[in-house]
Amino acid sequence: MQNNSNLFGFRLIKFLELGDWKALEFDGAISLQENVSCPGDGNKLRTVVTLVSGDGGQKIRLGVCESCGYFGYMDRPTREWIENFYTSVWREGEEAPADILSKDKKRKKEMMAFLKKFPIDKSRPVLEIGSGYGGAIAQLKKLGFKNIFGLENSKHRAEAVRKAHGVTVFENPFEKEVQEGETKKYAPFGLIVSHHVLEHTYEPLRIIELAASIQNSGDFLALSVPNSSEEFSMGQIFFLPHLHSFTPQALEKILNKAGYSLVDNSFTTEGNISFLAQKNALPSPRYTSRDYFKEKIEKFNNSLGLGVRYNSSPRELWWDRKAEVAGQGKSQVRRAIKYVKAIGLRRSLFKKRMVQRAVVADLEKRFTNPEDSPIEIQFEGNIKLTYK
């Protein structure tokens, strides 16, 4: 008979189907660094999930800030490893087909919409942190901004933006560029834009503080990140490039700490946080109190089917990359019901599904105390996370 605490986790035997994602094995060559503080308020993170190697000797914890809901890796590769990963490994060999460019422009267009509501001087220099394939730069041009600069770690993406849009694109990590590169020559920037980049950075607060260092009081920062409440659970746990997961409250705390005030959040949705902030010596925070620890545990338990006794072991674990829909077992009927409950009948019928799969088994024993880590996920051999 399984111990009840063993129901809140599983043993991941192997990934079956990851699509364009890849598995990264944490062998002895990847050193881990501990980070147990929330970037927004400095509070100690509380462990929600622990990933454990098959022999119990290797552990990676993920925790939540109980005051703002920030969620992230408490044990992660070193800054040097992460920077090298983005320079040489992240989406290596990726091309920029028309459908990727089209989606990129659509997402950035949605982010740009709220810039029309504010009197931003379009003759002032503008900087985009993480230019991708230039979706935001294209939209900034359409809005009439004349003096646009980009920053992109990926060499092939940076070159693609230069060729497509004829703008200057810096290739350093943002921290290094601001401190050692040419960015300061063009500062202060009247507007800094960043779309789905902050969750990838090593120190989010440091990024926002450096942004503030190249802006004047009254200048604007347009920021967009995935909303933690609707990020799919397996992505939050297993997708290494997203080192951080933000709630609106967590992101606002980081902005306030760096000297920004939130001036517009009207385009924020359940799936995406879109903020327009203004550099201001006296930020006006608006925080509410919630039980983020309990919410995160319930989210993972409900999505991944934890706390349930299954008739078969091993069995299939499946999850959708584009929706908070997941489960255990091969029943297509149960899978369809989960989709309907999560996203509604109409969307479940017409939404393109991006299902990933793995083989999992019951936990026979735990290497962590349930009071210290409510959820434990074990591996056959070394811990494995995913990336693109």
Q: Treating both helix axes as pointing N-terminal to C-terminal, what angle do 135-142 and 155-165 enclose, rounded to 10 degrees?
A: 20
CA dihedral (241, 244, 245, 249) positive or negative = negative
Residue 189 scores a pLDDT above 80: yes
Q: What is the mean pLDDT of the chain?
A: 88
Residue 350 scores a pLDDT above 50: no
Q: How far is CA 192 from the centre of its chain?
A: 19
Residue 326 scores a pLDDT above 80: yes
Q: What is the pLDDT of residue 1?
A: 47
pTM value is 0.91
Residue 223 scores a pLDDT above 80: yes
Q: What is the pLDDT of residues 76-110, one digit of tens each?
A: 999 999 988 887 776 655 555 555 555 555 556 66
Q: How confident is the model at residue 153 (pLDDT cuts 50, 70, 90)?
A: confident
Bigger pLDDT: 121 or 345?
A: 121
Q: Domain map of the chain by residue range?
A: 98-279
98-279 falls under which CATH superfamily? Vaccinia Virus protein VP39 (3.40.50.150)
Q: What is the pLDDT of residues 19-30, one digit of tens each?
A: 989 999 999 889
User: Helices in the chain by DSSP H: which ranges?
Assistant: 79-88, 98-112, 135-142, 155-165, 174-180, 183-186, 204-213, 233-238, 248-257, 292-304, 332-343, 345-350
Q: Which of 34-43, 96-105, 318-327, 341-350 has the highest mean pLDDT?
A: 34-43
Q: What is the pLDDT of residues 224-280, one digit of tens each?
A: 999 999 899 999 999 999 999 999 999 999 999 999 999 999 989 888 999 999 998
Helices (H) and strands (E) in the chain, counts: 12, 20
